[in-house]
Amino acid sequence: MPTKKPLVIVTRKLPEAVETRMRELFDARLNLDDKPMTAAELAEAVASADVLVPTITDRIDAALIAKSGPHLKLIANFGAGVDNIDVTAATDRGITVTNTPGVLTEDTADMTMALILAVPRRLVEGATALQEEKFTGWAPSWMLGHRLQGKRLGIVGMGRIGQAVARRAKAFGLQIHYHNRKQVAPEIEQELEATYWDSLDQMLARMDIVSVNCPHTPATFHLLSTRRLKLMKPSAYIVNTARGEVIDENTLAQMLEKGQLSGAGLDVFENEPAINPKLLKAKNVVLLPHMGSATIEGRIDMGEKVIVNIKSFVDGHKPPDRVIPAML
């Protein structure tokens, strides 16, 4: 007699190949119109599902988890970060949480490097000048930026993505510096010719470009606080493809407006999808709509990880990407 398929509720539209495979393996309830679920719809989903597949924009907090039904045993997040989920509350209720690490490393590092190039070289300003018909011909002193070679890049968070950024940046002649909770292995430091700073304050004060590549956790909320941002040189640039909450965005916007920083490249924002109006008006910033991991290949890889985690769990095995509170 066939085993009943678990009810898997997916909160957003996923790549077609991923959704098709989910329908083959599970009793998958898909979100075909891709509208974000309301709080009431999420509550209904956790009350009825065996497995919930949320994305990073779904707030799965303790209050919502408290409404979960007796059959919900797995939250298989479609995303590497899990700051949208109260993992402790889920664990306390006997619900396993998984994520999709590793598959977005190269895509996010590519976008980080694109911003590291775009901001000092004023690429968006140049493109805008063309669109606004302000280009009247080449001139030796027009649209001058700064070269990358020889500049110091400070990476905040030297995990998979931070190391991938470092490899790209090293190829462009940047000097690699980093701050991390723990110093990386000597062979990695040697490969990247990277300098470790146990003091984030000291590193920030010396860098020409700072790249934020750490996750958002309670410990990293406003890690780049008002005090720390003001340690940076006025000639410095900051790039963030991690999470907007890591930077005090209001202070950053004020410093850019006052010329206390030379520029910023931001793919993430503190109150997404709302963007600080000062950032929208600034000429010395490149703003992207959280697209660092947005490749078809990456999204399919994420979906395949979600499926493997669900299938492993349903078959009675420990999911390969299980998240536990101690990991946060």
CATH number of the domain residue 13 falls in? 3.40.50.720
Same domain, 37 and 114: no
Q: Are 45 and 52 in contact (CB under 8 A)?
A: yes
Of residues 29, 167, 290, 322, which has the active-site annotation? 290
Same domain, 269 and 300: no
Structural domain contains residue 115? yes
Q: What's the CA gap between 241 and 264, in Å, rounded?
A: 11
Q: What's the CA gap between 269 and 290, in Å, rounded?
A: 8
Structural domain of 59: 7-103+295-327
Helix residue ranges per DSSP H, the chain: 16-25, 39-48, 62-65, 87-92, 105-118, 123-131, 160-171, 186-192, 200-204, 226-229, 249-258, 277-281, 296-314
Structural domain contains residue 98? yes
Residue 216 falls in the annotated catalytic set: no
pTM: 0.90
| Tokens, residue 255 | 């410093």
* Phi and psi torsions of 133, nearest 5°: 60, 40
Structural domain contains residue 256? yes
Q: What's the CA gap between 67 and 47, in Å, rounded?
A: 6
Of residues 257, 272, 304, 322, which has the active-site annotation? 272
pLDDT for res 326: 60
Q: Are 240 and 246 in contact (CB under 8 A)?
A: yes
Q: What's the CA gap between 50 and 131, in Å, rounded?
A: 52
Same domain, 86 and 185: no
pLDDT for res 1: 43
Each residue of 165-177: b (16+ CB within 10 Å) or e? bbebbbeeebbbb
In order of 163, 183, 304, the CA distances from 247 in angstroms are 20, 22, 32
pLDDT for res 3: 73
pLDDT for res 325: 82
DSSP per residue, 202-271? HHHTT-SEEEE-----TTTTTSB-HHHHTTS-TT-EEEE-S-GGGB-HHHHHHHHHHTSSSEEEES--TB
Of residues 243, 245, 270, 299, which has the active-site annotation? 243
Same domain, 262 and 121: yes
Structural domain contains residue 2? no
Q: For the chain, how many structural domains are there in total?
A: 2
Residue 290 falls in the annotated catalytic set: yes
Q: pLDDT tens string for the chain (328 positions)? A: 457 899 999 999 999 999 999 999 999 999 999 999 999 999 999 999 999 999 999 999 999 999 999 999 999 999 998 999 999 999 999 999 999 999 999 999 999 999 999 999 999 999 999 999 999 999 999 999 999 999 999 999 999 999 999 999 999 999 999 999 999 999 999 999 999 999 999 999 999 999 999 999 999 999 999 999 999 999 999 999 999 999 999 999 999 999 999 999 999 999 999 999 999 999 899 999 999 999 999 999 999 999 999 999 999 999 999 998 865 4
Same domain, 164 and 207: yes
Q: Are 287 and 279 in contact (CB under 8 A)?
A: yes
Structural domain contains residue 275? yes
> Which residues have C-beta within 8 Å of that of residue 185, sequence separation ≥ 6?
none
Q: Are 95 and 75 in contact (CB under 8 A)?
A: yes
Beta bridge pairs of residue 74? 51, 96
Structural domain contains residue 1? no
Residue 272 falls in the annotated catalytic set: yes
Structural domain contains residue 236? yes
Q: What's the CA gap between 74 and 316, in Å, rounded?
A: 12
Same domain, 141 and 195: yes
Same domain, 143 and 166: yes
In order of 26, 55, 64, 65, 73, the CA distances from 86 in angstroms are 25, 13, 9, 8, 14
